[in-house]
Structure 1
């Protein structure tokens, strides 16, 4: 493609190396993009509070696509700009169907400050009876709370997370699609035993499209990077979608390009060097 007018990247497994390490090579590559006047947009499954530690180190202060596209956040102003939550009725219906399809599964939700004002940075709310495991201590600035299932599902949420111990994400995804296809957007961002549900039609692609339109950038001029199934729609939508060398096979199969290097080898930075130095 010609020089992109907007660059978007997933965080974990793409921009970040193993153990969420931010390399100097990647920092320099992002700085070269922004120095050229091109917006660099983080597009992540993370909520804003787990995105800020990275965006601050990168010096980014524009829009970020968070919660798999369900929440557009302004990094500099530290505020939500637009959200597309799952409503409580849909949450309850989805949980009911999944409980039958995946006996023993447990639930959590990601709530934005808009719907959980007692948590100014948002909260990851899990069932008290069956708390979902999450690496909260590894991610600075997090809020984690537990509540009964009725309370977990009782407010609009930007994400519903589903876990069943011992069942891989890919299997959970297939089981969920069998009973919820079309009712919600179903994906996963890691190899662990967890899937992530968003409002129907909402993905990183819809979030990135909203940002691109807001910034006056055409789809053809968007360059995007990703590595997992929750990046599929974004990689497909972008004018030029790049899958990391370490990406999920489904992503590598549909991307316009597969980087020759992994996230541990600054693969994204190597591709960006084609246009930005």
Structure 2
């Protein structure tokens, strides 16, 4: 059993911020959208212990803010780092017009657009129709854009920004060393934040996510997140 009051007293030397992915991390598995009860309870414990919780997702901002409200979370990283919503204000870390990119991607015939694209600004999402959809999309958009799969969709966004960029931005805004930011995720799109923060990968994370993390949980998805929170509250995470 972890003594939360002792942890809260030590917040200056442990984790101060918890950045957590949504799909595949707070859900029951990497192929469902159903949230894990164990993960929700762990999220509440982390928040009640004094951690500032940030939801970091590949989803669009409107969707992310809606989910965050029901999770009791106020800060959001959306569109894989392109948008950051903090203290009621949205900041754009990406720039550019993605309409020509969208046309080029759809012209491949290898994907279908996500319904969320109507509300997305920089990170566009697509449902693959072909086994080699990522390669075809990457060839269509060229080197100025990142093309990667979250396991739920193929994402295309301007190069140079990812969830790690957003976490680094938050470290500066919050005045917190990045090693005091615990980052928990499961997929390739989480690699940036796992490398910038004190990264924890859930047990069924992709190989790239596991390599980027300092700690790999045994449990999958939501159960792995519960394990991550227990590690954080024990004081063993967020060491330099």
- TM-score between both structures, scaled by the size of structure 2: 0.78
**Contact kept in structure 1, 2:105 and 2:111, CA below 8 Å:** yes
Matches within 5 A, 1:232-251: 232-238=191-197, 240-251=198-209
Partner of 2:161 in structure 1?
202
Matches within 5 A, 1:146-161: 157-161=121-125
Distance 1:262 1:201, change over 3 A: same
- 1:229 is aligned, of 188, 194, 200, to 188
- For 1:261, what is the secondary structure of its paired residue? coil
Matches within 5 A, 1:108-147: 124-125=117-118
**Contact kept in structure 1, 2:202 and 2:220, CA below 8 Å:** yes
- What RMSD in Å do the two structures reach over aligned CA positions? 2.7
Distance 1:107 1:48, change over 3 A: closer
- 1:183 is aligned, of 132, 144, 154, to 144
Partner of 1:268 in structure 2?
225
- For 2:231, what is the secondary structure of its paired residue? coil
**Contact kept in structure 1, 2:110 and 2:136, CA below 8 Å:** no
- 1:220 is aligned, of 167, 179, 183, to 179
Give me the whole-angstrom Cα distance separating, in 2, the residues matched to 1:86 and 1:108.
20
Distance 1:271 1:103, change over 3 A: closer
**Contact kept in structure 2, 1:87 and 1:157, CA below 8 Å:** no
Give me the whole-angstrom Cα distance separating, in 2, the residues matched to 1:161 and 1:29.
29
Give me the whole-angstrom Cα distance separating, in 2, the residues matched to 1:97 and 1:53.
30
Note the residue ranges of structure 2 that are not aligned, 5 or more in a row.
1-12, 235-240
How far the C-alpha of 1:247 sits from its partner, in A, is: 0.9
How far the C-alpha of 1:214 sits from its partner, in A, is: 0.9
- 1:55 is aligned, of 48, 58, 68, to 68
Partner of 1:36 in structure 2?
49
- TM-score between both structures, scaled by the size of structure 1: 0.69
Give the helix-richer structure, 1 or 2.
2
Provide, for residues 64-115 of structure 1, a one-character-per-residue CA deviation record: whole Å limited to 9, x for no partner: 10111111124x74xx520144523x541x3465467x345454685xxxxx
- 1:12 is aligned, of 23, 27, 35, to 23
Distance 1:181 1:213, change over 3 A: farther
How far the C-alpha of 1:179 sits from its partner, in A, is: 5.0
Give me the whole-angstrom Cα distance separating, in 2, the residues matched to 1:50 and 1:276.
29
- For 1:207, what is the secondary structure of its paired residue? helix
- 1:172 is aligned, of 110, 130, 133, to 133
Give me the whole-angstrom Cα distance separating, in 1, the residues matched to 2:114 and 2:192.
24
How far the C-alpha of 1:16 sits from its partner, in A, is: 2.2
Note the residue ranges of structure 1 that are not aligned, 5 or more in a row.
111-123, 126-142, 144-155
Provide, for residues 98-133 of structure 1, a one-character-per-residue CA deviation record: whole Å limited to 9, x for no partner: 467x345454685xxxxxxxxxxxxx32xxxxxxxx
